[in-house]
Amino acid sequence: MKKILFLTITFLFTQFPAQEKILFWPKGEMPNSKILKSKTQGKQEAKEAELFAFLPPKAERKKMSVIIIPGGGYSKLTYDEGAFQIAKWLNTLGISAFVLNYRLPTSTDLIQKETAPLQDIQAALKYVRKNADQWEISPSSVGVIGTSAGGHLATMVSNISKDYTELKGDWETISTIPDFAVLLCPVIDFGEFAHIGSRNSLLGENVSSEKINEYSMQNRVTEKTPPTALFHAQNDTAVPAMNSILYFEAMTKHQVRGALFIFPEGGHRFSVTNKNELNENWKKLCADWLKSIDNQNKK
Amino acid sequence: MKKIILIVMISILNLLSAQQKISVWEKGQMPNSKGLQLKIEEEKEGRITQIQEAELAAFLPAKEERKKMAVIIIPGGGYHHLTYDLGGYSYAKWLNTLGISAFVLNYRLPTSPDLKQKEIGPLQDIQAAVKYIRKHAQQWGISPEQIGVLGTSAGGHLAAMVSNISTDYTELKGDWTHFSTIPDFAVLVSPVIDLGTFAHKGSRSNLLGENASEEKIKEFSVQNKVSAKTPPTILFHAQNDPAVPVMNSILYYQAMIKNKVKGALFIFPEGEHNIGISNKAALTDN
């Protein structure tokens, strides 16, 4: 009897976790994997990209949702502080959140390393839009939030219109471009103001100036870039504030609507709890900005 | 008897008014004047187009709530008029709610026929105002080392000028020479900064004339004046400002970063050229 009770409790817990883990690539269709391609599965399992779903209670749930892209210089994922915390905070605003653990370009399983993170975020966007109904969210109000190198990936998916997912059938008609983006101390430039660690992990040590230009995301902004809000600290020594400024300049030039907030202090960190009173405002500014985007969608 | 009561009442009202008017220049010391007698001209309510001499309107919080910090507010108006209410008194009242003393400066406009050299008239007035507040700080219980400036639009240009120009144009002598003209911090709201590519044309032609030389334009484009000595500065702008492009604030902030001047930059998507104390867009109201 006790055992049954125990099983029931365990079962309840697995049914109602705070977050649900989703393997969003259809089985065997994740591209760019040596293991999956060689079909020597069984011996070795390919590590797949994952989404962690954080959903607000139905009564408080808005139509808007966000995919959170953690940072970590393209060599690790700072998913707990950087991403899970932001997801919980978004839930308090009624916004559904999905934390993306993408394949890192440093993985030995990859065939072409610099496209893997992009393939994963593109497929994640398609997946959330495809299944929007089931969560009662809107497929046309799906944004991205990226921190640090995750901000770089957020601007890649915002601006690269080519679909790298290789997904077929009804997947093909679903757009990979997010409806809006929030960038927290993002890596943007791979030239003068580059975070060298991110660049080396994504493109390798001896990279051509063409490749640098191509992956410096301020150069990819067009009038089609979705509305974007940027947050940075002036004293960020890892990723200089010029990264955000260059992107916002390109946005203004192409008449992309958005906001830029640079705080004097804070270092390379924007999180849900801040030591600095002034920086605490980022949450209010971000929440109000998301609200203004939401209102526009309703118009 | 009735007349006496009336006079007493008027003087009491003067004493207790929310703001007190102060002449920035001591009698006969205002430089750069031809000595013309000018009338104060208000083209419409809240918009002065001509003044005789520079004047400060003092707004002081209650003594119990008063901090050491004070701000001189520099209204905008394209160097053609002074929006002293919306771009001045309104900010002053709000600062008072934070315990910060505020002084709204009505400066001589470069369009005044009384000026001998028009482009330095406004700068002389703000420099003298900074000195005046520092000199009299004690009487208000404020600190002479916590005097900032807040400038909107063309007033932001003047705030950036006084932040960066170390030459003292006031011609004041004696103990006046002890006081620095450089503010301790600056707040710039939709400021005019660049007088070149991203210029607000009206401000430029009123300050420098219609056919300003390349050199003059460069000299008065204040992003070029930023140095390691520029005081800490915070900038606010709306991305959709149709009068003064947002690039004005971005260029100044970039120069600050380059020279390691501490500060902040807040750009809102909406608000146009009207970021004020009460805003239509909830986001901008922050």
Residue A12: burial class (beta carbons within 10 Å; 0-12, 13-18, 19+): exposed
- Check CB contact of B262 with chain A, cutoff 8 Å: yes
Q: Is B257 on the interface with A (CB under 8 A)?
A: yes
Measured between CA atoms, the residue of chain A closest to residue B253 is: A245
When CB atoms are compared, the residue of B232, B264, B281 closest to A262 is B264
Q: How far is CA B190 from CA A54, B77, B149, in A?
A: 39, 12, 14
Query: What are the structural domain ranges in chain A?
Result: 50-298
Quote the CA–CA distance of B74 and B83 in Å, as a whole number. 9
Ranges A64-68, B2-6, B86-90, B204-208: which has the least confidence? B2-6
Pick the CATH number of A50-298 from 3.30.70.660, 3.40.50.2000, 3.40.50.920, 3.40.50.1820: 3.40.50.1820
Three-class SS string for A87-139? HHHHHHCCCEEEEEECCCCCCCCECCHHHHHHHHHHHHHHHHHHCHHHHCCCC
Which range has the worst mean pLDDT, A42-51, A86-95, A151-160, A236-245? A42-51
CB atoms within 10 A of CB B28: 7
Report the b/e string of A242-260 with b at 16+ CB within 10 A: bbbbbbbbbbbeeebbbbb
Residues 278-297 on A with a CB inside 8 Å of B are 278, 281, 284-285, 288-289, 291-292
Q: Which helix (H) or strand (E) holds A24?
A: none
Cα–Cα separations (whole angstroms), residue B234 to A230, B118, B150, B230, B256: 17, 28, 10, 12, 10
C-alpha dihedral (B75, B78, B82, B86), degrees to nearest 10:
-60
The string of pLDDT tens digits covering residues A78-99 is 876 678 989 999 999 999 999 9
Site of tokens 């960190």: A269
| Complex confidence, ipTM | 0.84
pLDDT at residue A299 greater than cutoff 60: no
* B155, amino acid identity: G
Quick one: DSSP state of residue B65?
G
Query: Which residue of A252, A261, A292 is in closest CB contact with B246?
Result: A252
Contact (CB<8Å) A259/B268: yes
- Domains of chain B plus CATH, in order, are 20-268 (3.40.50.1820)
Condensed to tens digits (0 to 9), the pLDDT of residues B246-271 reads 999 999 999 999 999 999 999 999 88
Q: How far apart are CA A74 and CA A71, in angstroms?
A: 7
- Going by C-beta distance under 8 Å and a sequence separation of 6 or more, which residues neighbour residue A284? B286
Q: What is the structure's pLDDT at B44?
A: 85
| Cβ-based contacts of B265 with chain A (< 8 Å) | 260-262
